Chains A and B, each alone.
Chain A
Amino acid sequence: MELSAANLSPTATIKNIEAKGDTLDAPGHGRREVRRHFFTLILVMVLLTCIYPVLSQWSFKGGPYFHIAVETVGALLGLITGFVLAMNFYTLVNRFYLSVGLAFFVSGTVDIVHGLLSFERVHGLTTIPASAFEKIIPGTPVMGGLMFGFLLLAAPFAMIRLDKAEKWKNKIPWISLGTVIITAAAAVAAFNISFPQVVYPDFFISRPLNLVSAFVLAAALVVFLREYRQYRDMLTWWLALSIGIHALGQVMILFSRDFFDIFFHTAGLYKVLGCAVPLVGFSIYRASFFSQRLLLEKNNRELQKKIADINQVEEKIQFEMNQRKQVEEQLKILVEDVERTNKELEEFAYVVSHDLKAPLRGINSLSRWLYEDYLDVLDENGREILDKLQVRTKRMHNFIEGVLRYSRIGRVKPTPQVLNSEEVVQEVIDGLSPPDNISVKTNDTLPTIVYDKMFLSQLFQNLVGNAITHLDKPNGEVVISGIERGNVWEFCVKDNGVGIEERHFDRIFKIFQCLKARSEKESTGIGLSLVKKIIERTGGSVWVESTLGEGSAFYFTIPKGSETEVAITGLTVLIIDDNPDFIEVATAMLQREKLKVLSALNGREAYETLELYKDEIQVILMDIHIPGEDAIERFEKIKQLKPEVKIIACTGVNLPEIIDQLKKKGLLDGLLAKPFKISDLSGIIGRFQ
């Protein structure tokens, strides 16, 4: 499954949602939205105010019934709004709405009472004295308006205080009920209490209490707008609008000079409007709320799906990691096995050769004693028999030595050093002690090369020794030469001996192959195969040119690249890789080459280690890709810490862009592909010197 890093991240999804400003309340409620809503509200209020000049032209005078109808509708709407908002308290668990709902409910209740009283008055059904009537009827809506205003103001405080006080939480329903009862009781008591005068027709401001209401409502409006700005709750805005309209209504009635004039009615209509608005708003609010919930659920489902995908990928990764770990563990065991086998073979070979050679030596000595002690008793035949005995024991001894040496080639690690091949050849010649009639010399001075001394020695021992052995001419000549040819050193051992037929050219290099019967020429059959094995081990080639009867020339090449292998012994290397198993195996490999190895699992450890061992570390083997880190930064920082250090990037994955960048910035001194061979590494390091 194709999963890009970008759309995988759950953080990304959440960020998306946050960026869009999605909240529970309204879509895209950012600052611009808020400002827009502010202006809308102000616009509406201004419009409603601007009606004033129109209204003042209109000399409409409606009847009391119209007024009662308007008031009753307003009251009912108020009751419903109050009920709906208070119910909202339970679903949204927001006590803010409870208080607001109570405000509307109370206002509505009072207005219902006012309506009933007015109705009674109009129809003359009353038990209350007329004077009281005159005061109660206008008094009730004013009282209602004041209580409305104060309860609204109290709403935010109610939310805070009741929220914080744990013990009040359970008493809220009781408080609400209490408030309702008090309101109803007050309303009923209004019938019997002497109301204060609320209308002063002679004063400039004929209804001062309405002015107070207007101010309280204005204050409530400000409070609600602040709430809206803070919480971005659309319902709060609708309520703010409602409060604004109510406030305007209170202002309108200030201009009423006469009962039932246009301002009177307009005030009532505004009240109706003010109570209708929250209901409308609430419906819209609930609708958007619902749609938001759908959106959220959809996002949630997507998120869940992405999480499931991620989990799946994680499981896969974990599985693959386990697999890889298993393979690595297996490899470790294999390596251990191989090393152990190697060691066992070495011990075995030693013991075998030792225990084979001891009795051989015994046989040789015993035959020699026989010879020495019974020389006078032995006749020609006897002496010949003893000779043959000695020859054969010697042959067996050489054979064992040859086989042992042959088997060692594969197991021993070549230690290249700078060699004067002339000196080595001279040593070999001295060791072989050629007879006087054979001249063995070198043609010009042999070059200085870099190679394992024991190998070079054995190569010449076998080739020169063979040449000497197979010389049949009275004056034997063996010439050894060596030249540079391209990127190899080419050596030649030439003799004027018996020569070799072309058809045998390949066979002679095979182990245990001889061209003559053993008794004729003392040959183990191992020599040339030993030469071949050594050459193959060190990456060269060997071949022969020969003419039967005239002589042979054996050539072998030593690759020049091995020059560079010298340098790596004794170096201190720092391996930086996030894979601890790789570090373990690489460390073991390097330590076998007598390198000192330090390691770090990430950039931070690397910097610390480099600081501590700054003077010692000469080469760094660093993985390019370490998760959670910038590769280029790491390379840069390391070069900063120690500019002379050589950094070899080691990578199992192809990262051409990063490698290019590193090269351009001069941060890369070498590149190794994983898995690497020691010869690759030493080749790179050799080029540094």
Chain B
Amino acid sequence: MAIKKGVPILVVEDDEVDVGDILRAFKKNKITNPIYVASNGEEALAFLRHEGQYSDREDTTLPGIILLDLNMPIMNGIEFLKIIKADNEFKKIPVIVLTTSKEDNDRLESFKLSVAGYIIKPVDFEKFVGAVKTFELYWTLSEML
């Protein structure tokens, strides 16, 4: 599948190896969209709001998709999710949750907050596509071509 060029992807994940999996997956499949990595909810919010370390970012487009890990320090995934879903701008961005196992209680929590899907770690591209496909983001993203 093709993703519209230039649409940034925000990855909120603190484990560097997990991040590495994601980056490798996209690289292997020639996805060239800019990928931003925030290591916790606070950083991710700063990114979205162009504050702090991201205040001088040139590209101000909002990410087309957020990959969100639930288990992070300082501000975890659920808290971050609640905040962005309460924001009129941010709640439009589809969020895919990264989870460690099927039995995670957090997964149920996140569904209550209307996320677009979930991927079981470690992330590989197939899983990514699968998650996206299921919720018709394929169409949305491919339209953005």
Q: Taking beta carbons and an 8 Å cutoff, which residues of A are in contact with B?
A: 354, 357-358, 361-362, 364-366, 369, 372
- Residues 1-51 (chain B) with a chain A CB within 8 angstroms: 15, 17-18, 20-21, 24
User: Inside 8 A of B17's CB, which chain A residues have their CB?
Assistant: 361-362, 365-366
User: Inside 8 A of B121's CB, which chain A residues have their CB?
Assistant: 361
Q: Identify 25 residue pairs between A and B in the complex whose beta-carbon atoms are under 8 Å apart, listed by A's number.
A: A354-B71, A354-B100, A357-B100, A357-B101, A358-B15, A358-B100, A361-B17, A361-B18, A361-B100, A361-B121, A361-B122, A362-B15, A362-B17, A362-B18, A364-B122, A365-B17, A365-B18, A365-B20, A365-B21, A365-B122, A366-B17, A366-B20, A369-B20, A369-B24, A372-B24
The answer for the CA separation of A354 and B103 in the assembled complex, in Å, is 11
**Distance in Å: Cβ of A480 to nearest Cβ of chain B:** 24
User: Inside 8 A of B71's CB, which chain A residues have their CB?
Assistant: 354
The answer for the CA separation of A366 and B17 in the assembled complex, in Å, is 7
**Distance in Å: Cβ of A520 to nearest Cβ of chain B:** 28
User: Inside 8 A of A358's CB, which chain B residues have their CB?
Assistant: 15, 100
The 7 residue pairs across chains A and B that have the minimum distance between CB atoms: A362-B17, A365-B17, A365-B122, A365-B21, A361-B122, A366-B17, A361-B121
Main secondary structure on chain A at its contact with chain B? Answer: helix
The answer for the CA separation of A365 and B15 in the assembled complex, in Å, is 12
The answer for the CA separation of A357 and B101 in the assembled complex, in Å, is 10
- Residues 103-145 (chain B) with a chain A CB within 8 angstroms: 121-122
- Residues 41-88 (chain B) with a chain A CB within 8 angstroms: 71
Main secondary structure on chain B at its contact with chain A? Answer: loop
**Distance in Å: Cβ of B100 to nearest Cβ of chain A:** 6
- Across the A-B interface, how many residue pairs have beta carbons closer than 8 Å? 25
Q: Size range of the interface on B?
A: 10 to 19
Chain B: CB-nearest residue to A373: B24
The answer for the CA separation of A362 and B17 in the assembled complex, in Å, is 5
The answer for the CA separation of A353 and B131 in the assembled complex, in Å, is 25
Q: Taking beta carbons and an 8 Å cutoff, which residues of B are in contact with A?
A: 15, 17-18, 20-21, 24, 71, 100-101, 121-122
The answer for the CA separation of A358 and B101 in the assembled complex, in Å, is 11
The answer for the CA separation of A312 and B101 in the assembled complex, in Å, is 66
The answer for the CA separation of A357 and B122 in the assembled complex, in Å, is 11
Question: Which of A354, A357, A361, A366 is packed against the most chain B CB atoms within 10 Å?
Answer: A361
Chain B: CB-nearest residue to A350: B105
User: Inside 8 A of A354's CB, which chain B residues have their CB?
Assistant: 71, 100
The answer for the CA separation of A361 and B101 in the assembled complex, in Å, is 12
User: Inside 8 A of B100's CB, which chain A residues have their CB?
Assistant: 354, 357-358, 361
The answer for the CA separation of A362 and B20 in the assembled complex, in Å, is 10
Given contacts A361-B121, A365-B18, A372-B24, 7 further A-B contacts (CB under 8 A): A354-B71, A361-B17, A361-B122, A362-B17, A364-B122, A365-B122, A369-B24
**Distance in Å: Cβ of B23 to nearest Cβ of chain A:** 11
Chain A: CB-nearest residue to B71: A354
**Distance in Å: Cβ of A355 to nearest Cβ of chain B:** 9
User: Inside 8 A of A357's CB, which chain B residues have their CB?
Assistant: 100-101
**Distance in Å: Cβ of B22 to nearest Cβ of chain A:** 10
User: Inside 8 A of A361's CB, which chain B residues have their CB?
Assistant: 17-18, 100, 121-122
Chain B: CB-nearest residue to A401: B101
The answer for the CA separation of A436 and B21 in the assembled complex, in Å, is 32
The answer for the CA separation of A364 and B100 in the assembled complex, in Å, is 14
User: Inside 8 A of A365's CB, which chain B residues have their CB?
Assistant: 17-18, 20-21, 122
**Distance in Å: Cβ of A264 to nearest Cβ of chain B:** 125
**Distance in Å: Cβ of B72 to nearest Cβ of chain A:** 12
User: Inside 8 A of B15's CB, which chain A residues have their CB?
Assistant: 358, 362
The answer for the CA separation of A358 and B17 in the assembled complex, in Å, is 10
User: Inside 8 A of B122's CB, which chain A residues have their CB?
Assistant: 361, 364-365
**Distance in Å: Cβ of B47 to nearest Cβ of chain A:** 24
**Distance in Å: Cβ of B80 to nearest Cβ of chain A:** 18
**Distance in Å: Cβ of A319 to nearest Cβ of chain B:** 49
The answer for the CA separation of A25 and B17 in the assembled complex, in Å, is 109
The answer for the CA separation of A549 and B84 in the assembled complex, in Å, is 62
The answer for the CA separation of A238 and B17 in the assembled complex, in Å, is 121
The answer for the CA separation of A284 and B124 in the assembled complex, in Å, is 120
**Distance in Å: Cβ of B16 to nearest Cβ of chain A:** 8
**Distance in Å: Cβ of B114 to nearest Cβ of chain A:** 25
**Distance in Å: Cβ of B115 to nearest Cβ of chain A:** 20
User: Inside 8 A of B24's CB, which chain A residues have their CB?
Assistant: 369, 372
The answer for the CA separation of A369 and B24 in the assembled complex, in Å, is 9
**Distance in Å: Cβ of B97 to nearest Cβ of chain A:** 15
Chain B: CB-nearest residue to A362: B17
**Distance in Å: Cβ of A363 to nearest Cβ of chain B:** 8
Chain A: CB-nearest residue to B105: A350
Question: Which of B17, B20, B71 is packed against the most chain A CB atoms within 10 Å?
Answer: B17
**Distance in Å: Cβ of A544 to nearest Cβ of chain B:** 30
User: Inside 8 A of A366's CB, which chain B residues have their CB?
Assistant: 17, 20
**Distance in Å: Cβ of B132 to nearest Cβ of chain A:** 21
**Distance in Å: Cβ of B76 to nearest Cβ of chain A:** 12
User: Inside 8 A of B101's CB, which chain A residues have their CB?
Assistant: 357
**Distance in Å: Cβ of A277 to nearest Cβ of chain B:** 105
The answer for the CA separation of A369 and B101 in the assembled complex, in Å, is 22
The answer for the CA separation of A358 and B16 in the assembled complex, in Å, is 11
**Distance in Å: Cβ of B38 to nearest Cβ of chain A:** 18
The answer for the CA separation of A369 and B25 in the assembled complex, in Å, is 11
The answer for the CA separation of A372 and B17 in the assembled complex, in Å, is 15
User: Inside 8 A of B21's CB, which chain A residues have their CB?
Assistant: 365
Chain A: CB-nearest residue to B21: A365
The answer for the CA separation of A366 and B71 in the assembled complex, in Å, is 20
The answer for the CA separation of A455 and B37 in the assembled complex, in Å, is 41
The answer for the CA separation of A603 and B140 in the assembled complex, in Å, is 67
Chain B: CB-nearest residue to A408: B103
The answer for the CA separation of A358 and B13 in the assembled complex, in Å, is 13
User: Inside 8 A of B18's CB, which chain A residues have their CB?
Assistant: 361-362, 365
The answer for the CA separation of A362 and B122 in the assembled complex, in Å, is 8
**Distance in Å: Cβ of B3 to nearest Cβ of chain A:** 22
